[in-house]
């Protein structure tokens, strides 16, 4: 029987020990013991479904997280990693070799850009960056030698929404695989696999934990890709998730749907109210009808996510607004239950050369707002008051 995501988020992947515990157990163990030399030999030859060898390869608590998130995403299988970047690097490095070509959208999380331009390029992978919104640019860049395409389904921090189905069609026609970093879409609103993604990556550090505690990531895809391509690479290179973090993430998945839906509802309301002010240079939120990819967002995700961006016009105003906030915290994470404000130009994207900032729209007045679980009314009062201060201080 097929189950809804909310049911899967609570039950999928559960492994009960002989004690029949209600809450999932933390198997805080690196290794596993064998009943005999023959049993050890047999397990190394072919480990069964619930047979583990070493926590770098797999662990029962980690397996619970992998199966639960894979079920939620509609993926056949998954490999959990120490961080979101371990997942991005692991997937891309496992899937490519010297001489291969990769096409990626230019608007990427800084570390993803580093993995493509500094790491993969040094190992002989040719990388072409394109404007992710420009389907002609994708079509021109993808060649018969293209091994995979990579993009963030909603880009950071300017929240451009990439058409997964359209890019996947172009990639698949050339025999290339589609790898999607789906952090901003969240597993709650993701349809990446039905739309054509072969591999979906999450930083579990963001909405999945959602409470600012730990790092984690996951690579999701077909059994073939995960077990034959990703697992051998990951298990020998050491980017495994710790059992403790896997326990935290598996428990967090139980409330992910409720948290993210509440955050999205507040983000949608605040985006509308911010737009109504009329004095902001830009209010960017994929769930606003004024967003250039609003129709695509509705078709692809059905909601605009938990992050919005505003342009207050200058760095001075941006700083005075940030400093006037009483509830929203100044930090650089996102997806947290606590609302967070970030000034990308001077923090997350500080090191980007000015021409790259201009190209990506990272203006001096741009602020990224990750909306949390506080009351929409309180957040709105906080934002409006801080904006009033910022505009008055001109």
Neighbours of 294 (CB within 10 A): 16
Shortest CB 85 distance to ligand PLP, Å: 4
Could you say whether residue 367 binds ligand PLP (CB under 6 A)? no
Could you say whether residue 325 binds ligand PLP (CB under 6 A)? no
Q: How many residues bind ligand PLP (CB under 6 A)?
A: 16
Site for ligand PLP in 22-41 (CB under 6 A): none
Residue nearest to ligand PLP (CB): 84
Neighbours of 261 (CB within 10 A): 16
Contact 89, 115 (CB under 8 A): yes
Residue 68 or 317: the one with the smaller Cβ distance to ligand PLP is: 68
Residue 203 or 297: the one with the smaller Cβ distance to ligand PLP is: 203
Shortest CB 223 distance to ligand PLP, Å: 24
Shortest CB 215 distance to ligand PLP, Å: 5
Site for ligand PLP in 37-66 (CB under 6 A): none
Shortest CB 112 distance to ligand PLP, Å: 6
Site for ligand PLP in 167-196 (CB under 6 A): 181, 183
Shortest CB 111 distance to ligand PLP, Å: 6
From candidates 71, 91, 102, 112, binder to ligand PLP by CB under 6 A: 112
DSSP structural state of residue 161: B
Sign for the CA dihedral angle at 171, 173, 176, 182 comes to: positive
Contact 157, 368 (CB under 8 A): yes
Q: Within the chain, where are the H helices?
A: 5-11, 37-45, 60-73, 84-95, 110-114, 121-122, 135-141, 164-173, 186-189, 223, 231-237, 243-277, 294-300, 315-324, 354-360, 376-392
Rounded Cα–Cα distance for residues 184 and 166 (Å): 19
Shortest CB 81 distance to ligand PLP, Å: 9
Could you say whether residue 241 binds ligand PLP (CB under 6 A)? no
Could you say whether residue 84 binds ligand PLP (CB under 6 A)? yes
Shortest CB 216 distance to ligand PLP, Å: 7
Site for ligand PLP in 207-226 (CB under 6 A): 215, 217
From candidates 24, 73, 100, 152, binder to ligand PLP by CB under 6 A: 152
Max Cα-Cα span within the chain: 77
Q: Which of these segments, 78-86, 228-236, 241-249, 253-261, binds ligand PLP (CB under 6 A)?
A: 78-86
Contacts of 113 (CB under 8 A, 6+ apart): none
Which structure tokens are listed for 143?
A: 């060649």
Could you say whether residue 280 binds ligand PLP (CB under 6 A)? no
DSSP structural state of residue 224: I
Rounded Cα–Cα distance for residues 239 and 253 (Å): 21
From candidates 9, 71, 72, 83, binder to ligand PLP by CB under 6 A: 83
Which residues on adjacent β-strands are paired with residue 77? 221
From candidates 96, 205, 263, 339, binder to ligand PLP by CB under 6 A: 205
Contact 162, 132 (CB under 8 A): yes
Could you say whether residue 252 binds ligand PLP (CB under 6 A)? no
Could you say whether residue 85 binds ligand PLP (CB under 6 A)? yes
Which structure tokens are listed for 352?
A: 């980007």
DSSP structural state of residue 240: B
* Pairing verdict, β 282-284 and 146-152: unpaired
From candidates 64, 71, 88, 369, binder to ligand PLP by CB under 6 A: 88
Could you say whether residue 301 binds ligand PLP (CB under 6 A)? no
Shortest CB 334 distance to ligand PLP, Å: 6
Burial class of residue 45 in the structure, from the number of CB atoms within 10 Å of its CB (0-12 exposed, 13-18 middle, 19+ buried) = exposed
Overall residue count recorded for the chain in this entry: 394
Could you say whether residue 153 binds ligand PLP (CB under 6 A)? no
Could you say whether residue 245 binds ligand PLP (CB under 6 A)? no
Shortest CB 184 distance to ligand PLP, Å: 6
Neighbours of 258 (CB within 10 A): 13
Question: Which parts of this chain interact with ligand PLP (CB under 6 A)?
Answer: 83-85, 88, 109, 111-112, 152, 156, 181, 183, 203, 205-206, 215, 217
């Amino acid at each position: 029987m097929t189950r809804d995501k909310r049911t899967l988020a609570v039950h999928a992947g559960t492994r009960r020990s002989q004690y029949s515990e209600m809450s999932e157990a933390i198997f805080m163990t690196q290794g596993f013991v064998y009943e005999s030399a023959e049993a050890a030999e047999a397990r190394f030859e072919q480990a069964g479904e619930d047979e583990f060898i070493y926590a770098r390869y797999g662990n029962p608590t980690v397996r619970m997280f992998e199966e639960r998130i894979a079920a939620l995403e509609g993926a056949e299988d998954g490999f959990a990693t120490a961080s979101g970047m371990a997942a991005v690097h692991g997937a891309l490095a496992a899937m490519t070799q010297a001489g291969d070509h990769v096409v990626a959208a230019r608007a990427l999380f800084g570390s993803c850009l580093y993995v493509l331009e500094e790491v993969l390029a040094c190992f002989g992978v040719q990388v072409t960056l394109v404007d992710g919104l420009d389907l002609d640019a994708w079509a021109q860049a993808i060649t018969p030698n293209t091994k995979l395409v990579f993009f963030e389904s909603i880009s950071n921090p300017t929240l451009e929404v990439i058409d997964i189905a359209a890019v996947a069609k172009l990639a698949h026609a050339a025999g290339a695989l589609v790898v999607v970093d789906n952090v901003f879409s969240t597993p709650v609103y993701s349809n990446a696999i039905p739309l054509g993604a072969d591999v979906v990556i999450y930083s579990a550090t963001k909405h999945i934990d959602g409470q600012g505690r730990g790092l984690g990531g996951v690579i999701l895809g077909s059994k073939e890709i995960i077990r034959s391509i990703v697992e051998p690479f990951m298990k020998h290179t050491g980017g495994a998730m710790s059992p403790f973090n896997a326990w935290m993430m598996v428990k967090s998945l139980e409330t992910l749907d409720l948290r993210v839906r509440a955050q999205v509802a507040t983000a949608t309301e605040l985006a509308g109210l911010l737009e109504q002010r009329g004095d902001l240079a830009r209010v960017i939120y994929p769930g606003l009808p004024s967003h250039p990819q609003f129709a695509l967002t509705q078709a692809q995700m059905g909601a605009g996510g938990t992050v919005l961006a505003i342009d207050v016009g200058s760095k001075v105003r941006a700083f005075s607004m940030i400093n006037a906030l009483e509830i929203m915290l100044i930090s650089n994470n996102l997806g947290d239950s606590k609302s967070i404000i970030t000034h990308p130009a001077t923090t997350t994207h500080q090191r980007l050369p000015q021409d790259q900032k201009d190209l990506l729209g990272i203006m001096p007045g741009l602020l990224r707002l990750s909306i949390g679980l506080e009351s929409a009314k309180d957040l709105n009062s906080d934002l409006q008051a801080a904006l009033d201060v910022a505009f008055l201080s001109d």
